[in-house]
Each structure stands twice: as C-alpha cells, then as structure tokens.
Structure 1
C-alpha cells in the first residue's frame, strides 16, 4: 500500500482513540465543603434545671460549762482531835505557845493555848457560812467537856472566818487581804493561805494567816512606837 493511502487511515484511528478516553475532572474549589450531605441543624438541648440549695446553718458553739462552785468545809480549818501544835514566837516572851485541839462534836471545837504563863481556852462553832467564836476564857486549866445542849446555848462572841472567802470582804472589822498567799514557816511552805488584817483604834495592825487542815499558822502584831515598828509574831514550828 502506498504511503499516501495509509495516512487517512492513521488519522481516522487516532480520532477514534481520543473519543474513547474518560474526561478529566477539574479540581474542586478547596473552600467548598466536599460533603454532599446537607448539614442538619443542631437540636435545642435544654440544660438541666439547677437546684439551688441553701447552705446548712453553722451550729453555734456550745457555751463553756460554768465551773462548779467550790464547796467550803469550814471544819477543815482545824487540826485533828488531840493534835498539839508548837508556835515559834518572836518579839515577846509570850509569843511562843502550844495549841491543843479538842473536838466536842462535828460542829464544835476548842483550842487550848498555853504560852507558858497562862492557858487560854477558845471554843468555836462551825456552820456552812462561818466559823464563830462562842467562848473565850483565860486562866483555864481544866478540861472543857460540855454537853451538846450547853454548846448550843453559848452565844456568838465574834466571827473567826466567813463566806465568801474573797479578797476585800470584811467581817467584824477583819478584812480578807488575800486568799492565795504563799507563806514559809519553820514547819513547811504553805500555799493558798488566807490572810486577815485588822487595824485597831491605836493604829496597831493585827494579821492572821489561816490555811486548810491547820487553821491559824501565823499571827502578827505590828505597832508603831516613836517612828519604830514593834512587831510580835507567832509562827507554826511543829505538829504532834
């Protein structure tokens, strides 16, 4: 076959081949959403109702319990029956003495005070409120053994100690100066000592120091003479 006749056949073959190829798709715009599905609108989701709770009340602090009142047993302000105490004196020859305790019953007690020159008897009646002197007798050398009825008939002469036991309280011209004094004696160191003080018409000062289980553990007499203090003391030295 000549070349001239072959050329038309070749052109026809190329045309038929071009028609059989798939068309080329143009690239899609990158800004478009490739998803063909329509977006569903978001449903309105109701938020759960907020429950407002009131705060629990803060409990008020419980009040501190009041301290229990201290019960004073005035019978504890004397020594035991038969006890003999020796007091060391200073400033006077009769300032030293011995004191013997005698209990008559649960509420009445006597103290025999012997200073070497004479014996003085003092008898006290004890109540819930006070210790009262009901007898005071000098030059007493016998034993005092009255009946309970006789003791009840004795009148109150003065008050030895009285409630309330607080500094500043006054009874029978005696003032409570302190209820927690510390006092050193030849016998021992005492704490919680009650100090009573009285000033008489001459300006002389008397003091008594009293403590539980022992009673009076010291006494003082202070007098001013021509700008000089005259002091007499009697202080507990021993107990038998």
Structure 2
C-alpha cells in the first residue's frame, strides 16, 4: 500500500514539473516548430517590408529622376530666348554652300529682338518675340540689307507669324506652321555635340510633304543646330562660336561733290553697329567726316537727320533739319551736287532708286530747286568716280 502511494506521488510530482515547463514555454517558445513558425512570420514581415521599401525607393527614384530632369511643364520658356545683344553667333554648315551663316542682333526691346542672318549670299531679318506660352517669329524679310528697326512693324500678308517653340515644353506638343507643315517637340534633354561643347536641348521637328527640319534649342543659348532632310539631301548648320561685344560691320558708299562743281566722288566707309545703335545717327556722323580736301562737305555740323526709313511704296524717306538748307551756302550747281550726293548715298544703302527728301517734314524747297509734295529724287551715279 505504501509503495502504491509513493508511486502515485511520484507521478503527480512529474506532472507538476511538466505543467510548469509548459507554462514558462508560453513566453519563450523553444521548440523546433515554434522557431520555424517564428521564422516564417518574420520572413513574411521582412518580405512585405522589402516590397514596401522597394516600392518606396522606386517612387523616390522616380521622384528624384523627375526632379533632376525637371518636369516638362515647368521648363522655363524664357531660357530659350536669351539676351544676344552685341553677340556674334557663328554657324558652321555642311551639305550646302549657304549652310554656314552669321547672326547679329540689330535691335532688342522688352520681349522682342531683331536678328540679322547673313549666309554669304543674302541677308534675312527676323523679329523674334517671347510671349507667355510661345516664342514666335513676328516678322521675316529676305534680302534685308539696310539696318532698319522693325521691332514695332506690323507684319505684311506674306510675313505671317510662325511659332518656333510652344509650351508646354514636353514631347508631343504639336502645332501647325506655314506651308501646311506640322511642328512637334520630339525630344527633351537631347544631347547635341557642337564645337562649343555638348548641350542638353529641346528637339523640334518640322515636317512637310517632301522634307523635314529638326531644330535643337539649348537654354541660355538658343538655336544650336539645324538639320534639313529631303530625300537623300542633308544640310546641317551647327553653332561653332559665340563672340561677345562684337558689332555688325556694314560698308556704306558715301558720295561727295567735287570742287569742279560738275562731278561726284565716292568713298566706301565701314560702319560698326552695336545692338540698338541708330542707323541714321551713324550715317549722319560718318557723312560729316570728309575723306580728303578735294571734296566738299554735304552736311554742316548742325545738320541732323530727323528720320530715315524704307516705305511700303518702295521709296526711301529721309527728313533733315532746317540747317541742311540754311547752312548750305551753295550756288544752284553745287546745291544740285550736294542733293545728288545725299540721294546716291541714302538710295544706295537701301538698294532703292527713289528717295523722298524733305526738310522739317516739308518738301525740299529753295530759291534754286523746288519739289512738290510727294515728288522724289532719283539715284544717279553715272557722273561719279572713286575718291583719289
């Protein structure tokens, strides 16, 4: 009996120990199944965390990339309309003898500038304007040799505006241009190599039925490259150099009366024009500088050119101050030579044969020569020779 009681007590004590072990194992499980289960949960949590981290990293990377490349809608359009005053842009060309050209800025004011392009064969002038959502050609004229301010000139029927760049500056922005053509932004941050370095550019493609033109614009520079393609014909113009503080130089032929009172002599002078220099003032100053003592003066020291411009009727209009007449002190023959000198000089600069010359806004009138309102003078260089 005592042995039976001892045996039962041993079983009870063993059960109590085992029960205690199970109780403490609830806080720190140490069985293989518990470890396996714990690792499985941690794996799930870790996997989920990595996925979230990867997604977050991806989003951050995308955000960073977007920030680095700059959102297309936020690209500053004005950056592609840089200040080019007194700068000489030189473009090197391939594929055509006129692919190389030079550009100067004749005039600039507020959001407009007048660009002169010379390709060695002809000169073209364009007035470019920056607006809130676009950069456009306001006016364009070919064979524009005289330097005249057209910033405020209204374009004619054949000088319609053409949009060069249009917001938003992002791929796919499209607009129509003259000649039933379409212009599209086909690339952003396109790398273009030039002799001046590599630029990240906006690529703009203009397509017609028979040809394609691709222009590349760099911020703070402007146009850096143009590629024209038509069938197997390719012409490229690439910016190769920018010179600063460089004037446009034009050669102007000035005529003067000779002492014989019968003939004229001429001399070619180089006039240097910086941006916004007034053409009439440059011509006036140069005219008062005599090439030698063998010729007579045309303008007295006090004579000024009040206005000078090419009119739509194909005539050049020039208006002088009253001193042209009051300080002339010449007989009829010499007065005729003075007037012919002026007409030949002004008409020659503008490549026009008719010059409407007035004094203080009135038709030219002296005791020797009388002109009616609207009556012009005609260029005549036959009786002239180069200054010796």
TM-score for both structures, normalised by structure 2: 0.40
Does residue 197 of structure 1 match 2:201? no
Structure 1 residues 195-220: Cα deviation after superposition (integer angstroms, max 9, x where no partner): 11122112x11111111111111111
Structure 1 contact 77–211 (Cα < 8 Å) conserved: no
Shift, 1:146, TM fit: 4.0
Q: Tell me how far 1:113 sits from its aligned partner.
A: 0.6
> Structure 1: any 5+ residue segments left out of the alignment?
1-63
Question: Partners in 2 of 1:181 and 1:103 — Cα distance?
Answer: 31
Residues 221 and 146 (structure 1 numbering): CA distance in 2 closer, same or farther, change over 3 Å?
A: closer
Q: What does residue 209 of structure 1 align with? A: 216
Distance 2:112 2:79 in 1: 9
Find the counterpart in structure 2 of residue 182 from structure 1: 191
Contact conserved, 1:194 with 1:210, CA < 8 A, in 2? Answer: yes
Q: 1:78 to 1:200 in 2, by over 3 A?
A: same
Structure 2 counterpart of 1:82: 86
Q: Deviations over 1:16-75 (max 9, x none)?
A: xxxxxxxxxxxxxxxxxxxxxxxxxxxxxxxxxxxxxxxxxxxxxxxx99x897362426
Q: Is the 8 A contact 1:75 1:107 kept in 2?
A: no
CA distance in 2, matches of 1:97, 1:185: 15
Q: Which residue of 1 aligns with 2:144?
A: 140
Using structure 1 for the length normalisation, give the TM-score: 0.64
Aligned residues: 168
1:128 is the counterpart of 2:132: yes
From the two aligned structures, give the one with the greater helix fraction: 2
CA RMSD, aligned part only?
2.4
Q: Tell me the alpha carbon deviations over residues 179-235 of structure 1, each in whole angstroms, 9 at most, x when there is no partner.
A: 1101101121112x0111122112x111111111111111111111xxxx2110000
Q: CA deviation at 1:79?
A: 4.3
Structure possessing the higher radius of gyration over alpha carbons: 1
Equivalents in 2 of 1:171, 1:73: separation in Å? 16
Q: Secondary structure at the match of 2:86?
A: coil
Residue 168 of structure 2 is aligned to residue 164 of structure 1: yes
